[in-house]
Amino acid sequence: MFSRLIFKYNNFSSGQIRTLITSQRAKMSKECSDISKTLNANLWDSDPELWEIIKKEKKRQLRGLEMIASENFTTLPVLQCLSSCLSNKYSEGMPGQRYYGGNQFIDQIEFLAQKRSLEAYNLNPEEWGVNVQPYSGSPANFAVYTGVVEPHGRIMGLDLPDGGHLTHGFFTQTKKISATSMFFESMPYRVNPETGLIDYDKILETAKLFRPKLIIAGVTCYSRALDYKRFRQICDEVGAYLMADMAHISGLVAAGVTPSPFEYSDIVTTTTHKSLRGPRAGIIFFRKGVRSVNGKGEKILYDLESRINQAVFPGLQGGPHENAIAAIATAMKQTKSPDFVTYAKQIVANAKRLCDGLQSKGYKIVTGGTEVHMLLMDLRPKGISGAKAEYILEEVSIACNKNTVPGDKSALNPSGLRIGTPALTTRGFKEENIDDVVNFIDCALQLGIEIAKTSGPKLVDFKKAVHEHFSSEVTALRNEVEKYSEQFPLPGYPEY
Ligand code: DSN
């Protein structure tokens, strides 16, 4: 810049040039400081409108009882990774083989995330590989199908109304809902409508007819441990891959408080933000080495590594989110601490206490209990729909979600509530606190049941009745819940 100036003004005296340079410097430094002011302004100064909304959300999280089974409060180190400079970098490809320069530190981070992910589940790197790049659970699952099951290849997963996930192949009588059912042929398996338990005999019977390439052992709403050994036997009988989707329970698996899918699976996918308490992201674990030995004694090797890695990138994704990958690395490190094991045990203890408490108040729990982090209430005997129950609970600052129960005719008007304990456990809730939570839930539901008796079948009329005739009761209960909840700290930044 200055050499160009000197060239332009080469007829000037040296004194004139010095004056010119000084004035140019002052101008540039003012411009730089203006730019820096814009770029480095705090959010609360640069965008107060958005900041106010974020603060309200923080307050909602603090004041409410968060009981959505898939949610959690992540840790400060995870949040710090997410909001770090790593967000700036493009790094398509795998560590050590990138399509862009400048990735020497990014590579270190991604290698660390891979190593710690394997360590978190005590996996031998000779036998298991991992891809930490999926943006979340749905892309992770879709990458597996893309890499391992050819287009229109066959997949079996638990039906969504019975507790499976959309990506496990959901479709209805009239519509293919999930892309899994559009681009692959999916056949659901179900739970026994009487017991609510997965019907393994039926899976085998169906699998023998359908001959799937891949069977998914995974749930989003099922309160029992899965029988991975049984899934393995079924897969072996029909020559299918076994993919476990452990998204909900991956924190419990890391802590060793629920059976691990790794012994029996070929592929394991997970999100990292549920019981694992990391960032919103996804991971795929895949087996390496010998898959089987054929009749001639020849070893058949797994080829999952290249298929899955290439399906993630370039198949489905662009640049990996390295800030999230760093956050995975630190979350995986946290799973190795004794505190994490205590937390995971407490999640299950709290869920069992919640189940006992609700049963003692006369509520029906699908499968009759829980072995994990959540339960499913069947509200049919109580005369209130899942949607109305969800609404009245939300009105008193208790967040959970309506859910189908086995035997429900319509997924649009489900009869159950899914309730989980990971988020409250992170906030320090113990069994005695869960007893208080049971009382809050019961008070709200009793009120809802009363209102539902007269408001008619429609949700809109129920909501109207809540506000027109019961607003003082609702407000009083909400105040109690919020006062109670506020005593328990949230991890993360104090204000946001
Ligand atoms: N949305 C998650 C759940 O609530 O289970 C699954 O992706």
**366 C-alpha to center of ligand 1: Å?**
19
pLDDT the model gives residue 2: 47
User: Do 344 and 315 share a structural domain?
Assistant: no
Q: Which residues of the chain have pLDDT under 70?
A: 1-11
Decide if 128 is inside a domain.
Answer: yes
Query: Is residue 220 within 6 Å of ligand 1 at its C-beta?
Result: yes
Decide if 27 is inside a domain.
Answer: no
User: Do 306 and 412 share a structural domain?
Assistant: no
pLDDT the model gives residue 461: 97
Domain endpoint, select from 277, 308, 334: 334
**What's the CATH code of the domain at 309?**
3.40.640.10
273 is catalytic: yes
**470 C-alpha to center of ligand 1: Å?**
32
The residue whose CA has the least distance to atom 3 of ligand 1 is: 70
Q: What is the CA angle 478-484-485, rounded to 5?
A: 85
Is the peptide bond prior to 489 cis by the omega test (within 30 degrees of 0)? no
Read off the tokens for 436: 């208080």
Rounded to the nearest 5°, which phi and psi values hold at 290?
Answer: -80, 125
Rounded to the nearest 5°, which phi and psi values hold at 427?
Answer: -80, 0
Q: Show the domain range for 376.
A: 338-485
**415 C-alpha to center of ligand 1: Å?**
18
Read off the tokens for 443: 């008070």
Distance CA 22, CA 28 (A): 10
Closest CA to 334 of 90, 93, 97, 76: 76
Decide if 404 is inside a domain.
Answer: yes
Query: Is residue 165 within 6 Å of ligand 1 at its C-beta?
Result: yes
Query: Is residue 352 within 6 Å of ligand 1 at its C-beta?
Result: no
Domain endpoint, select from 318, 334, 350: 334
**391 C-alpha to center of ligand 1: Å?**
19
User: Do 267 and 131 share a structural domain?
Assistant: yes
Distance CA 277, CA 253 (A): 13
Query: Is residue 218 within 6 Å of ligand 1 at its C-beta?
Result: no
User: Do 307 and 349 share a structural domain?
Assistant: no
Domain endpoint, select from 274, 301, 334: 334
**274 C-alpha to center of ligand 1: Å?**
9
User: In the sheet that 364-365 helps form, which strands lie side by side, from edge to edge?
Assistant: 364-365, 374-378, 416-420, 401-403
Decide if 9 is inside a domain.
Answer: no
User: Do 302 and 392 share a structural domain?
Assistant: no
Out of 66, 68, 70, 166, give the residue to mutate to test ligand 1, the one with the largest number of ligand atoms within 8 Å of its CB. 70
Closest CA to 156 of 215, 77, 233: 215
Distance CA 361, CA 153 (A): 47
Which ligand 1 atom is the nearest neighbour of the CA of 138? 7
The residue whose CA has the least distance to atom 5 of ligand 1 is: 220
Q: How far is CA 206 from CA 136, 174, 264, in A?
A: 30, 22, 20
Which ligand 1 atom is the nearest neighbour of the CA of 271? 7
pLDDT the model gives residue 309: 98
Give the model confidence (pLDDT) of 323-348 as tens digits: 999 999 999 999 999 999 999 999 99
**Sole residue written with tokens 């979600």:** 401
User: Do 246 and 138 share a structural domain?
Assistant: yes
Decide if 70 is inside a domain.
Answer: no
Distance CA 348, CA 278 (A): 18
Decide if 171 is inside a domain.
Answer: yes
Q: What is the CA angle 204-209-211, rounded to 5?
A: 85
Count CB neighbours of 468 within 10 A. Answer: 9
User: Do 435 and 295 share a structural domain?
Assistant: no
The residue whose CA has the least distance to atom 6 of ligand 1 is: 220
The residue whose CA has the least distance to atom 1 of ligand 1 is: 70
Which ligand 1 atom is the nearest neighbour of the CA of 165? 6
**What's the CATH code of the domain at 356?**
3.90.1150.10
Distance CA 228, CA 234 (A): 10
Closest CA to 365 of 315, 419, 323, 328: 419
Which is the catalytic residue, given 221, 235, 355, 400?
A: 221
pLDDT the model gives residue 28: 76
Which is the catalytic residue, given 165, 248, 273, 321?
A: 273
Decide if 1 is inside a domain.
Answer: no
CB 393 within 8 A of CB 470: no
Q: Provide the CA 318 distance to its chain's centre, in angstroms.
A: 21
Q: How many domains are contained in the chain?
A: 2
32 is catalytic: no
Distance CA 425, CA 344 (A): 8
| Residue 198 DSSP label | B
User: Do 412 and 355 share a structural domain?
Assistant: yes
Read off the tokens for 217: 């052992």
Fill in the amino acid letter for 161: P
Which ligand 1 atom is the nearest neighbour of the CA of 68? 4
User: Do 354 and 206 share a structural domain?
Assistant: no
Decide if 492 is inside a domain.
Answer: no
User: Do 481 and 411 share a structural domain?
Assistant: yes
Query: Is residue 70 within 6 Å of ligand 1 at its C-beta?
Result: yes
Strand partners, 218: 245
User: Do 186 and 320 share a structural domain?
Assistant: yes
Residues 6 or more apart in contact with residue 115 via CB below 8 angstroms:
125
User: Do 298 and 412 share a structural domain?
Assistant: no
Query: Is residue 401 within 6 Å of ligand 1 at its C-beta?
Result: no
pLDDT the model gives residue 1: 46
| Residue 295 DSSP label | T
